[in-house]
Amino acid sequence: MFLILLASFLWAFLEGKREAQYFHYKWSLPNPTKVKDEHLHFTIQRSLYVILSSIVASLLYQYWSGIIMLISIALTFSFFHNGSYYLRRNQLNNEIYKKRWFGESTTTTAKISFSYKTRLILFIRGTFITLSYDIFHLIK
């Protein structure tokens, strides 16, 4: 199952970069396009990915694997997504997110936003859950 989680790390990293590009160029325009709330669309995309990954884990392993995968991806997503988002935004404009990967937003419109410390703790927990599950099933 850890391979599915590794794939989700890459996905979250690329999602962060993509969204950084989107917001950088959106807010660089003289009259940025007013969208009610992009986060709703991003949440739907993320939910579909997590659900699909959970279904794959359930089909490849067993029912509980899907639930473990859902929890693990949810816990680890923000570490890679936000880290790559802040890093890329800083690369595009070095006046913002000066801590780069370790940065935090003070202007986000997202409903949930985590500090770097919280993102790191969630990442460790999510990874630990999947590794523990895999190790348990290897020695079982």
Contacts of 129 (CB under 8 A, 6+ apart): 68, 71, 72, 75
> Could you tell me the pTM of the whole model?
0.88
Q: Give the whole-angstrom CA distance, residue 140 versus residue 133.
A: 10
pLDDT digits (tens, 9 = 90+) for 35-57: 667 888 888 999 999 999 999 99
Residue 35: predicted pLDDT: 63
Please, are residues 81 and 16 in contact by the beta-carbon 8 Å criterion?
yes
Q: Alpha helices of the chain — where are they, by DSSP H?
A: 2-28, 38-60, 63-92, 116-139
Q: How many helices (H) and strands (E) does the chain have?
A: 4, 0
Whether the per-residue pLDDT at 75 is higher than 70: the answer is: yes
For 20-29, how does the pLDDT look when each residue is reduced to its tens digit (9 = 90+)?
Answer: 998 888 877 7
